[in-house]
Structure 1
Amino acid sequence: MTLRILPPPGAPRRLAAAQLSNSVGDGAYYVCSALYFTRVVGLSPAQIGLGLTVAWAVGSVAGVPLGALADRRGPRGTSAVLAAATAASVLSFLVIRSFWAFLAAVVVYATAQCGLGAARQALLAGLVPAERRTGVLAHLQSMLNGGLALGAALGGLALGADTERAYLAVFVLDAVGFLGCAALLLTLPAVAPVPLRAAGEPRLAVLRDRPYALVTLLNAVLLLRMPLLSLAVPLWIVQRTHAPGWLVSALFVLNTVAVMLFQVRTARPVTDVDTALRALRVSGLVMAASCAVFALSALPGAAWAAAGLLVAGAVLQVDAEMRQSAGSWQIGFSLAPADRMGQYQGFFGTGVPVARTLGPLVLTSLLLVWGVPGWLLLGALLSAASYGMGPAVRRAEAARGRGEPRGAVAEAVRAG
């Protein structure tokens, strides 16, 4: 099983090591940060929510220019600098004691994280052949989940201690992880920066690529499943079902372990746009089935029956998640021009902060207010978005074939 999780030797394995390095600290950070900011810093939950919403909104906008910077300056060095910037922002949490200082720190954190994601994708694209990228990303996702699980366990120890010193140790661990990530990234071969822009070429060509923007929008809709297990399902279990509360933790562990063990196998058949679209269509159907099963858990009955339905829904959900991830990775890379990979990946990656920002509001409104009909509507929405990817991707491919603006080369031709 270890051999399935680890990518091939060379650049892919170093990328995986860098991913593991920062994900362990992140896992501990995610578990402990809310309690630290409320109990130690003294912020209210409303202030934390507002700060994180603003931070991820800024980060989603900053990802595109930072991705473009990676194209211009080289993704290896840019990735290392952004990893170090993330470490610095985490260390600043040790000394902040006011809302405005917290807001400034989390804005830097979210901006650096979004830029790091775009730059690392560009680095991977420059070091890994196109036909192997989705497979390597599957390995990285497995390592990410393994690191998050380990980090969450360490964070649990800090929660058990419930002291300021324990929480501070978690932030130091996270910062050291990102510094280790930066050091590992610098051991990779350099990827040559793209040539300077031609006269009249837009600085951020991706913002004019409407077909790619549509694909990115649909991907953001599909990523609304991200807050399901971390927010919507826990609240659903407590408020609408008779299942035991400890099932919240069990479902999270189930998801993490499943992705760690099976993401590589699930991504293996996805090798081109056609197989990616097929994976997304199946993902949409499985996700709709998952939502229906989750909805059934609220029906009157024994606690064990509700728990069984919730476990079944979580199994379907993680299967849909792995298929959607593999399909989206392949499409995001396939439609991006090679000379603008950083800015295109930065734009495509905005779906993650958008889902983090809007997902909680959308899901709680749909599921906790509407109940069973909300689950069915959510399943229909995600299924429709997955099927809508087909026409959207074909349109983007056609635009690329017609020579519409898709990067430096196409822009130069049109300008000439």
Structure 2
Amino acid sequence: MPAFPPTAARTLARAQLANSVGDGVFLVTSALYFTGPVGLSPGQVGLGLTLGWAVGVLVGVPAGQLADRWGARRTAALLAAGTAAAVAAFLAVGRPATFVLVACLYAACQTGLAAARQAALARLVEPTRRTEVRARLQATANGGLALGAALGGLALAAQTAGAYRIVLALDVAAFGVAAVLLGRLPRVEPTTGPVAAGPRLAVLRDRPYALLTALNAVMMLYLPLLSLVLPLWVARRTAAPAWLAAALLALNTVAVLVWQVRVARGVTGPAGAVRALRRAGLLMVGACAVFAVSAAATGPWLAAAVLLVGAAAQVAAEMAHGAGSWQLSFDLAPDGRHGQYQGFFGTGVPLARMLGPVLLTALIVDGGPAGWLAFGALYAAAAWAMGPATRWARRTRPVATDEPAGLAAPAR
């Protein structure tokens, strides 16, 4: 079995930090930049981003396949550079059609980058540490998002076209740094031999893994809760002050930074992953029930206290879900095909970004407390179904324990 370079995880973390700072800037400023200085309507922005993430869903598997066949390091570095180029192109858009094209490029590079980065992690980190390292990357990502959001906040305070362009230029630079760092990862040889000679997109024929991916995509629908659904819920349905939505987001960020790695350390093997996912389902049901009750809380401070309890249960569910899903995605992917398998499993993220805002806004903000309970039930059902789906998947393959050959000396 090849030796695993000890610096690989640190390099991945540094690249993740740069990547996430750029993401934080974009998330905070993009909507107001596009509808302000650029002059697009909210509907045009929403349509463009929806179409972009739809393209992202389609790109994940081919990008992962490219990482397997061409090399994860080169693919990840190229896609990080492509993301930087897409953000730079956003600075020049002025028409809806151009915006849609650039949004498609941006989402495709982002989705492909996630798949290639996961493939690199799988090939460069020993199997027993993959979930822990992935948890560290998630914690690093949250820290980077917070820093990027703070930088973006400066542009929001200034509210000038120049300020928006400056922070988006920082986004370009951040992804440029990520591309350089990813290019410094140890070289991973492309997949060769019987695996490479098999079906080009074998993951699409793997029905157990496809079922796991679909169930995980349902669970990923929680993504717009903090950024969209809860702010609207707090403002429209509760007596809590509107600024509490920012406090709930801060609570989530700090909790992931402090506890995500600890949660992940307790998850080993498929059985442990299933237990973590079931725990996530129970916690999310509890969180949704508390959020539903917050509408009836009288007075701003009582409503705020109820919402904070719900947010604590929600972030606990998020961390358990993350640890369990990462473990399954690695353990049940065949050696040599981590790129395409991670790309397929990761399609839950662009799907949630594409469908989640519309579905959850209609279900929860318009539906009221019953909508929270319905979402909690849906999430829990998907979480508990992970158990039978995992057992089916394990019957169709040996659980991966060894890393394939192909790790070369670090690049110089």
After TM superposition, is the score higher than 0.5? Answer: yes
| Corresponding position: 1:50 with 2:22 | no
Change (3 A) 1:46 1:141: same
1:262 is aligned to 259
SS at match of 1:370: coil
1:412 is aligned to none
1:139 is aligned to 136
2:354 is aligned to 357
1:3 is aligned to none
| Corresponding position: 1:67 with 2:64 | yes
| Corresponding position: 1:240 with 2:259 | no
1:103 is aligned to 100
Opposite residue 162 of structure 1, the aligned amino acid is Q
- Give me the whole-angstrom Cα distance separating, in 1, the residues matched to 2:148 and 2:132: 24
Aligned length: 396
CA contact under 8 A between 1:138 and 1:326: conserved in structure 2? yes
- Give me the whole-angstrom Cα distance separating, in 1, the residues matched to 2:373 and 2:191: 46
- Give me the whole-angstrom Cα distance separating, in 2, the residues matched to 1:197 and 1:315: 47
1:405 is aligned to none
- Give me the whole-angstrom Cα distance separating, in 1, the residues matched to 2:135 and 2:112: 20
Opposite residue 279 of structure 2, the aligned amino acid is V
TM-superposed CA distance for 1:358, in Å, is: 0.9
CA contact under 8 A between 1:23 and 1:147: conserved in structure 2? yes
Structure 1 unaligned residues grouped into runs of 5+: 1-7, 403-407, 409-416
- Give me the whole-angstrom Cα distance separating, in 2, the residues matched to 1:217 and 1:188: 31
CA contact under 8 A between 1:197 and 1:203: conserved in structure 2? no
2:299 corresponds to which of 286, 302, 309: 302
SS at match of 2:263: helix
2:18 is aligned to 21
Deviates more, 1:214-223 or 1:356-365: 356-365
Change (3 A) 1:129 1:300: closer
Change (3 A) 1:94 1:316: same
2:178 is aligned to 181
| Corresponding position: 1:212 with 2:238 | no
- Give me the whole-angstrom Cα distance separating, in 1, the residues matched to 2:14 and 2:124: 15
1:312 is aligned to 309
Opposite residue 392 of structure 1, the aligned amino acid is A
- Give me the whole-angstrom Cα distance separating, in 1, the residues matched to 2:49 and 2:339: 24
- Give me the whole-angstrom Cα distance separating, in 2, the residues matched to 1:260 and 1:346: 25
- Give me the whole-angstrom Cα distance separating, in 2, the residues matched to 1:39 and 1:401: 54
SS at match of 1:41: coil
- Give me the whole-angstrom Cα distance separating, in 2, the residues matched to 1:366 and 1:40: 33
- Give me the whole-angstrom Cα distance separating, in 2, the residues matched to 1:112 and 1:25: 14
* 1:72-221 → structure 2 map (5 Å cutoff): 72-195=69-192, 201-221=198-218
- Give me the whole-angstrom Cα distance separating, in 2, the residues matched to 1:205 and 1:9: 31
Change (3 A) 1:274 1:91: same
TM-superposed CA distance for 1:201, in Å, is: 3.7
- Give me the whole-angstrom Cα distance separating, in 2, the residues matched to 1:357 and 1:207: 21
Deviates more, 1:18-27 or 1:198-207: 198-207
Deviates more, 1:374-383 or 1:77-86: 374-383
- Give me the whole-angstrom Cα distance separating, in 2, the residues matched to 1:401 and 1:275: 17
2:246 is aligned to 249
Change (3 A) 1:189 1:103: same
- Give me the whole-angstrom Cα distance separating, in 2, the residues matched to 1:114 and 1:63: 6
TM-superposed CA distance for 1:198, in Å, is: 7.5
CA contact under 8 A between 2:80 and 2:113: conserved in structure 1? yes
- Give me the whole-angstrom Cα distance separating, in 2, the residues matched to 1:196 and 1:98: 48
Post-superposition Cα deviations, 1:223-259, rounded to whole Å, max 9, x if no partner, equal 1111111111111111111110010111111111111
TM-superposed CA distance for 1:202, in Å, is: 2.4
- Give me the whole-angstrom Cα distance separating, in 2, the residues matched to 1:374 and 1:303: 22
Opposite residue 86 of structure 2, the aligned amino acid is S
TM-superposed CA distance for 1:305, in Å, is: 1.0
TM-superposed CA distance for 1:109, in Å, is: 0.5
Please report the TM-score for the alignment, with normalisation by the length of structure 2. Answer: 0.94
CA contact under 8 A between 2:69 and 2:196: conserved in structure 1? no
Opposite residue 83 of structure 1, the aligned amino acid is A
| Corresponding position: 1:323 with 2:320 | yes
Structure 2 unaligned residues grouped into runs of 5+: 405-412
Instruction: Give the root-mean-square deviation of aligned CA atoms.
Output: 1.6
1:380 is aligned to 377
TM-superposed CA distance for 1:101, in Å, is: 0.8
- Give me the whole-angstrom Cα distance separating, in 2, the residues matched to 1:200 and 1:148: 40
- Give me the whole-angstrom Cα distance separating, in 2, the residues matched to 1:139 and 1:300: 37
2:410 is aligned to none
1:339 corresponds to which of 327, 336, 341: 336
Change (3 A) 1:199 1:387: closer
- Give me the whole-angstrom Cα distance separating, in 1, the residues matched to 2:297 and 2:156: 35
CA contact under 8 A between 2:195 and 2:337: conserved in structure 1? no
Deviates more, 1:226-235 or 1:194-203: 194-203
- Give me the whole-angstrom Cα distance separating, in 2, the residues matched to 1:94 and 1:303: 41
Post-superposition Cα deviations, 1:109-136, rounded to whole Å, max 9, x if no partner, equal 0000000000000001110011100000
Post-superposition Cα deviations, 1:305-344, rounded to whole Å, max 9, x if no partner, equal 1111101000100011001000000000111011111000
